[in-house]
Amino acid sequence: MIDALWLLLRAAGFVLLLQATGSVLFLAQVAGAVDTSGAGAIRALGLRTTLAALALVLAQGLYEPLHLAGAWDGWSDPSLRRLVFLSAGGVAFWLRVAGLAGVALALRRAPRGLRGLALPAALVALASFLVSGHTLLDAHRVILAPLLALHVLVAAFWFGSLAALRALLAMAPVVPIAPALAQFSRRAVWLVPLLALAGVCLAGVLLPDLAALRRPYGELLCLKALLFALLMGLAALNRLRLVPALERGEPHAPSSLRGTLAAEYFLIVGVLVATAALTGLFSPAEDSSA
Amino acid sequence: MRGALAGLLVLGSVGSGAAFAHAHLKDSSPADGSRLAAAPAALVLHFSEAARLTALTLEKPDGASEKLPRPPAAQLRINVPLPSLAPGAYVVHFRALTADGHVAPGEIRFTVAP
């Protein structure tokens, strides 16, 4: 029960952290294609997500001593509290707190403030993925760190963009959506393949052999690949059919596009849940009992 | 996006390099599944890399649990004194924090013969 709750918090934390930082990356990349009211709606959505992410990260920190102890009285052990908040292991936690707090502050302010603080703060939060986990310890860290950075950055951009585009679609036709979609497509068409390439390279370096694909870590990795393939199918449908239909002004296009964007969103949630499990419970080189 | 990636790499490189490694239990005394003629005086856990115990309890034959003292730092070989054990079946439950942040749970079952 304690471990199941911990995993739930971890997975939800991944979802909210990537959506919050992704909304900032979306605004940074697509700002020129979104009018003032659209940008305001995305900032409001980003702020709500960021505050939820911050609350969840804090909850994760408070819960971690229970997970370390494997018992509900774990919080009463001061050595475990120190381990969570004050040791080297706490770096990722404080990076997330500081980064998300910075994003929240920036999104509460005018666009000028956003430009100044939101992007660096989002990067601070995302950098937390680079200071813990398998990549930190692997002998090939010099190769893995840039790959993981690219992987996380593009994943956040893609995930945050889906929620932002749905918010914009809800405001159409009052707010023009086509320029933002076109701008997002121009970015995504080369970023998403990079995301896949970085993921394949990470797996290639981290997995000791092909037999590892039959162990829990490898099986979850295969699940991620399957979900990614489905995502690519939906992305192709959007790019080749629904976005052109929207640009032609076909009446059904906005609702169809909202539907496929929602499907993409939930497929990525599935990918993130699988990622939370594979990075939190298993090691690339060993099975769970190791 | 290229600038963001560069920024992320710089920020990531600032993080902790201090680390234990991904550790697993190599062997123990008493060994898992062992049947002992006499009660052991100590528990020895030997990990593949230095690990920090975050939980260590002894489950007794009557089902009661007793917390055992944990070393305050990561160690490769952890030696913990055991209380006086009566004949019966025991289970040691432990959790070890590894360098990559994993919490690896484990247990060792042994029996003290009458």
Instruction: Tell me what ipTM this predicted complex has.
Output: 0.78
* A134-138, B69-73, B93-97: range with lowest mean pLDDT: A134-138
Under an 8 A CB cutoff, do A285 and B16 touch? no
- Taking the Cβ of residue A215 and every Cβ of chain B, the question of whether any pair is shorter than 8 Å is answered with no
Mean pLDDT calculated for residue range A207-220: 83
Residue B14 in this model has a pLDDT that exceeds 80: no
Sign of the torsion angle spanned by Cα atoms A211, A133, A157, A127: negative
Residue of A nearest to B10 (CA): A127
| First and final C-alpha spacing in chain A | 21
Mean pLDDT of chain B: 82
Residue of A nearest to B47 (CA): A290
User: Residues B35, B109: contact at Cβ < 8 Å?
Assistant: no
- Taking the Cβ of residue B16 and every Cβ of chain A, the question of whether any pair is shorter than 8 Å is answered with yes
Mean pLDDT calculated for residue range A166-189: 81
Sign of the torsion angle spanned by Cα atoms A17, A23, A26, A28: negative
Mean pLDDT calculated for residue range A163-179: 80
- Supply the pLDDT for residue B19: 32
- Supply the pLDDT for residue A126: 94
Q: What Rg do the C-alpha atoms of chain B give, in angstroms?
A: 19
Mean pLDDT calculated for residue range B59-88: 91
- Supply the pLDDT for residue B21: 38
Residue of A nearest to B4 (CA): A123
Residue B101 in this model has a pLDDT that exceeds 50: yes
H-type alpha helices, A109-237: 111-113, 119-127, 134-137, 141-171, 178-206, 216-237
- Supply the pLDDT for residue A212: 79
- Supply the pLDDT for residue B13: 46
- Supply the pLDDT for residue A23: 93
More reliable by pLDDT, B79 or A283: B79
Under an 8 A CB cutoff, do A127 and B14 touch? yes
Mean pLDDT of chain A: 85
Under an 8 A CB cutoff, do B13 and A145 touch? yes
Pick from A73, A117, A130 the residue to mutate for testing the B interface (most B CBs within 10 Å). Answer: A130
Give the type of residue at A106: A
Residue of A nearest to B26 (CA): A290
Task: Say how far apart CA A72 and CA A66 lie, in whole Å.
Answer: 6
Number of inter-chain CB pairs under 8 A, A vs B: 113
Give the type of residue at A170: A
The Cα of A54 is separated from the nearest Cα of chain B by a number of Å equal to 19
